[in-house]
């Protein structure tokens, strides 16, 4: 089974997982990335079962609309039962590293609103210790160098993702060489650096359930 086949299988499993939770008024939060794209395609098959979606990026909004799913502004939504999104890494505590696609801030906002965060990954995303995947940090442009210096003091090696601008008009620093033993504390510490918008650690609000595509089928991890 290829990685894409595992992503597609887990995306289809996610649709089966959320189906019983949906009604005609439901709004589904939708993440960003290639796994989320497979999810959008599978979600389109049941679009008659819910009202619409909130997107975590412009790219996701465009794909949802192309599939005939109405996209709502988060400010117009008071309740969201479920948010479905991929991840770059997850550990046994269901802490995540996200933001490989640069959509981390909107992803974190939508995840915060949702009652349940369903993370969909293939088995290559499972790690013992987070940090092998460079940790994305979204920064206000004028603060880029200052934030980078502060991250070096925390023993991280920040690299500017040159040429990339987020949907919010900001920049990304990808932090290499982090062995993340205390994910919640590091998430808070990085967010406390002035000029940081948010970082890609989803630990204080991690996933509630991980659906993991493997060559032998989809595993549910809680």
Query: What are the residue numbers of the active site?
Result: 107
> How many residues in the shown chain lie near ligand 5RP by CB under 6 A?
17
Quick one: which of 28, 43, 53, 87 contacts ligand 5RP (CB under 6 A)?
A: 87
Q: Pick from 14, 216, 17: which is nearest to 123 by CA?
A: 216
Stretch that binds ligand 5RP, among 65-73, 94-102, 149-157, 203-211 (CB under 6 A): 94-102
Q: Between 102 and 156, whose beta carbon lies closer to ligand 5RP?
A: 102
Binding of ligand 5RP at residue 88 (CB under 6 A)? Answer: yes
CA torsion, ordered 135, 136, 139, 141, to nearest 10 deg: 120
d(CA 211, CA 194): 35
With b for 16 or more beta-carbon neighbours within 10 A and e for fewer, the 130-144 pattern comes to bbbbbbbbbbbeebb
Binding of ligand 5RP at residue 98 (CB under 6 A)? Answer: yes
Q: Between 8 and 98, whose beta carbon lies closer to ligand 5RP?
A: 98
Quick one: which of 104, 139, 147, 172 contacts ligand 5RP (CB under 6 A)?
A: 104
d(CA 186, CA 51): 37
> 3-state SS string over 114-156?
EEEEEEEEEHHHECCCECCCCEEEEECHHHHHHHHHHHHHCCC
Binding of ligand 5RP at residue 218 (CB under 6 A)? Answer: no
CB of 59 to ligand 5RP, least distance (A): 9
Stretch that binds ligand 5RP, among 16-24, 101-109, 110-118, 170-178 (CB under 6 A): 101-109
Stretch that binds ligand 5RP, among 9-17, 70-78, 96-104, 156-164 (CB under 6 A): 96-104
d(CA 5, CA 101): 20
Alpha-carbon distances, residue 64 vs 26, 33, 139 (angstroms):
15, 13, 27
Quick one: which of 13, 64, 82, 103 contacts ligand 5RP (CB under 6 A)?
A: 103
Binding of ligand 5RP at residue 31 (CB under 6 A)? Answer: yes
Interface ranges with ligand 5RP (CB under 6 A): 31-35, 85-88, 98-104, 107
């Amino acid at each position: 089974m290829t990685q894409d086949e595992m992503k597609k299988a887990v995306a289809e499993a996610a649709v089966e997982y959320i189906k019983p939770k949906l009604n005609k008024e439901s709004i589904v939060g939708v993440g960003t990335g290639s796994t989320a794209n497979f999810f959008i395609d599978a979600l389109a098959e049941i679009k008659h079962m819910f009202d619409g979606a909130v997107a975590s990026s412009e790219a996701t909004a465009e794909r949802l609309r192309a599939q005939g799913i109405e996209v709502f502004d988060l400010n117009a939504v008071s309740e969201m039962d479920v948010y479905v999104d991929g991840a770059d890494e997850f550990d046994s505590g269901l802490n995540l590293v996200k933001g490989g696609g640069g959509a981390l801030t909107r992803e974190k906002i939508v995840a915060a609103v949702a009652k349940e965060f369903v993370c969909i990954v293939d088995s290559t995303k499972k790690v013992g210790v987070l940090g092998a995947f460079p940790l994305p940090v979204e920064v206000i442009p004028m603060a880029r160098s200052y934030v980078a210096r502060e991250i070096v003091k925390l023993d991280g090696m920040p690299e500017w993702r040159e040429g990339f601008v987020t949907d919010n008009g900001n920049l990304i620093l990808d932090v290499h060489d982090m062995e993340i033993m205390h994910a919640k504390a590091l998430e808070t510490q990085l967010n406390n650096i002035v000029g940081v918008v948010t970082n890609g650690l989803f630990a204080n609000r991690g996933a509630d359930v991980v659906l993991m595509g493997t060559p032998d089928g989809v595993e549910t991890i809680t």
